[in-house]
Each structure stands twice: as structure tokens, then as C-alpha cells.
Amino acid sequence: MRAIERSDMATTVQDAENLPFSRWAILAPLAVLLAFLWLTLMAFPHDDDVWFAWELRTRGLLGMLEAFYRELAGRFFANTVIVLPNMIADTLGLPLLSVYRATCALMLLATVATAYWAVGRLLETPPPTRAFLAGMLSCALIAGAPAPNDLYFWVSQIGNYTIAALVALVAMIRLFDEAPLSRVEIVALAVAGFLTAMATEMSGAILFVIVCGARRPYPLVLAAIAAGTLIVATAPANAVRMGVYGQSAGGALIAFPMAAVHECVFLAQRMATPAVLAWLIVLGLAARRPQADPWRPLLTALVAIYAAFWIGQLGLGQYLPPRARSHLHFVLVAGMSLTMVRLAPPVPRKLAVAALVLVLLTPHALGAFKSVLLDRPALQAAIDDRLQRLASAPRDADVVLPPFPVRGWPLVTSELPSDPAHWRNVGLARYYGVRSLRVQR
């Protein structure tokens, strides 16, 4: 039996070495990832980041979490992550902006590292091929996501979605492996599940479906996820939140068909994403041996995505925003990857070059290239100027800020309003200790 296993592994490695990729192919995904990494070094605190930091400063961490649980949302995990850069900067005496940007860069690198680990679980490949496949998977997860700007350039959404998305991807890849989890892995997944279930109202449900969809459901993990989900679901602030965003007019009944409609739209958008298509092509070229029960991972992912859309329709009465759909994107990519490996469909080798072209032409990748090559100098100067004006303004000043010269994806997706009474302006004014501020129009 061991001789057969060694023979199978040798065949798999030989197949991987014969893939139609030159050693230069890795330059395509590497260029995309370096552009995104460069942009994280221009990220800056805004919107919820600043408001949460003000609350942390006035109430302390526990007071802030308790107040938000009653008044805003029961997202204990996310609300804590959002203020981590502030706590680290204050504790270590470091510049907040440097810590903030380092946090964003580390999350992007964590996604790349997770992709490298996932490829190792999916396929037996030599290091050069594994690095290339990990780069392509990273591009599918990062550039192919509906809103990478929220996932990697905004700590507020890192706390709400990015970390939970990575945990869901790791859980799915590992749980659908043939090897059972060790005791350490069970405890680690239970802890991660409990914490990230308190990231958003849907993150616990997604993980719960993933664990149930695996061949070996783990009671401790399910119980931990359920506990975290219950904490979020019973938060008094949920009623306030739903009152602000609006609920589904027909309640749970109308949410069932609407969730199906939302999922169909989501799937159509994801399957038309060049980076996703590129990843499936190269994965199909690398997979060589069909396995039993190939559709189970994809079906599990689809059920988890449906559950998330149902929760979103019930609570918000609308299609989930792009940052939430980015979380679902990770689940879908994991499900499609596991199914593709198990099916091992015949993929024409001529598509290898097409995959490299597709990943470079992904809209968000093109946006990252434009921002790095054309917009970066003016935008970097404007960001530094705005932060300097706020930091040096007198406490009783009415600050008028010049608008950003470059707006839109990926860093400045929304400008501050011209109304000083807007909640975003009020939060920023309180944090910097000025009387009021607005952006000049």
C-alpha cells in the first residue's frame, strides 16, 4: 500500500512538473499582488475606524464593546479588531498611521500565505509549481473579490469580513481533506469559529454549514460556532441596526426566494470574473486524478452562501453589499477549488496562456496598476496633507479640507461630506479634537 502511495505521489509530482507553464509565468500573478501590496502602504484610517477610535478613547475597550452591543451591533470580534491599530500604537508608542498600514499589509500577506497553504492541501506539487498556483489563487481571492478595497485597505472591514473569510476558507479546505482533524486542530477551529462567528451576523451561519457539510462534523466546533452566533443574534443593538437599514418587507417567507435570486446574481458575477476563471483553468491543468464525491464541497459552499443571503435579506431587506459578498467569494472559491480537484476535468493546455492574460486583465487588477503607476504620487501627497492638517489644527478650529484629487477605487471610494453635521465629519472632528470639519466643494 505504501509503495502504491509513493508511486501515486511520484506520478502527481511528475504531472505537475510537466504543466505548460514556464518559470516566468509567476510574473503575472506576482505583478498583481505587488500592486495591491504597494497600495496597502497608502491606506489610512477613515469612517468607522475613526469613530471607533474616539469611542475607545472616551469609554475604554470594555466600555466601548458594551455600548456598541446595546446600541450598534453585537459584533464583539469585529469591533475589537477595528481598534487594534489604535491599541497597538498607544501601547508601543508607535505612529498610528504606520501601524494601520502594517495591519492592512499583513492581512494581504496572510491571504497569500493561506493560498500557499491551500494549494499544498489540494495538490502534491514541487515548490516552483506550488508558488505559481498559490499566486494565481491569491489573485482569485484578492483581485477577483467584489470589494478588495474594503478587504485590505480598511481595517473596519478587515475585522468584519477579511479574517472571517480566511477562517472559512481554511476550515473548508481542511475539513474536506480525507485526514481527520487532530485534537489541536479541533480546538483551534473551535476557538476560531467562536471568535469569527462574532464578526458579522452571517459569519457564524457560514461556518456552521461548512462544518456540517464535511464528512466528519465535530460537535465541539459546532457548539463553539453556535455560541458565538447566539451572542451576536441576541444583541439588543440588532433591533436598532435593523431599524436603520430596514428589514425584508415579507419577513422570513419572502427572504427564501429573494435569497435564491441574490445567489444566482452573485454566481453569475463571480463566474464572469477573469481572475476566478484563470484560477480554475490552472487548477484544472494541475489536477490529474478524479476522486469520489466531487460535488459535495461545491454544494456545501452554495448552501452556506444561500444561508448568508437569506440572513442579509431578512435583516437588511436588500442584496448584500460588496464587502459582505467578498466574504462569500472566499467560500465559493474554496468550494469550486475542491470540486475542480476532485473532478480533474480535461483542460486544454492551450488555455495556459489565456489564464495569465485573464489574471492581468481582471478589472480590480487593472485598477491597482493604474493607481500605482498614475495616481499614487498625487494621492499620497493628498493623504499626507489631510492627515497633517487635522493633526496640527487648533482645538477650536473649523477645519476646511481640500478634496482628494483622485477619487474612486481602490483607496478613496467615498469622500467626506460637505456638511459638518454628518456623522462621518463629526467622528473625525471628535477624534482630532477640532470643533468641526468639512471638505471644500
Q: What is the pLDDT along the chain (441 residues), one digit of tens a residue?
A: 334 333 443 444 444 455 677 889 999 999 999 999 999 999 999 889 999 999 999 999 999 999 999 988 889 999 999 999 999 999 999 999 999 999 999 999 999 999 999 999 999 888 999 999 999 999 999 999 999 999 999 999 999 999 999 999 999 999 998 889 999 999 999 999 999 999 999 999 999 999 999 988 899 999 999 999 999 988 887 766 655 555 555 567 788 999 999 999 999 999 999 999 999 999 999 988 898 889 999 999 999 999 999 999 988 778 899 999 999 999 999 999 999 999 999 899 889 999 999 999 999 999 999 999 999 889 889 988 998 999 899 988 999 999 988 877 777 777 888 889 998 899 899 989 999 999 987
Write down the residue that cell numbers 455600548 correspond to.
67
The confidence score (pLDDT) of residue 324 equals 96
Q: Which residues, 6 or more positions from 34, have their beta carbon under 8 angstroms from its beta carbon? A: none
The confidence score (pLDDT) of residue 2 equals 37
Structural contact between residues 341 and 284, judged by C-beta atoms closer than 8 angstroms:
no
**C-alpha cell of 382?**
493628498
| Domain ranges for the chain | 30-361, 368-439
Write down the residue that cell numbers 514556464 correspond to.
22
The confidence score (pLDDT) of residue 248 equals 53
The confidence score (pLDDT) of residue 251 equals 67
DSSP letter, residue 437: E
Tell which phi-psi region holds residue 348, choosing left (phi > 0), alpha (psi between -120 and 50) or beta: beta
The confidence score (pLDDT) of residue 244 equals 54
The confidence score (pLDDT) of residue 343 equals 95
DSSP, collapsed to helix, strand or coil, labels residue 75 as coil
Whether the bond between 410 and the residue before it is cis, its omega within 30 degrees of 0, is yes
The confidence score (pLDDT) of residue 7 equals 40
Asked whether the CA dihedral 300, 306, 312, 314 is positive or negative, the reply is negative
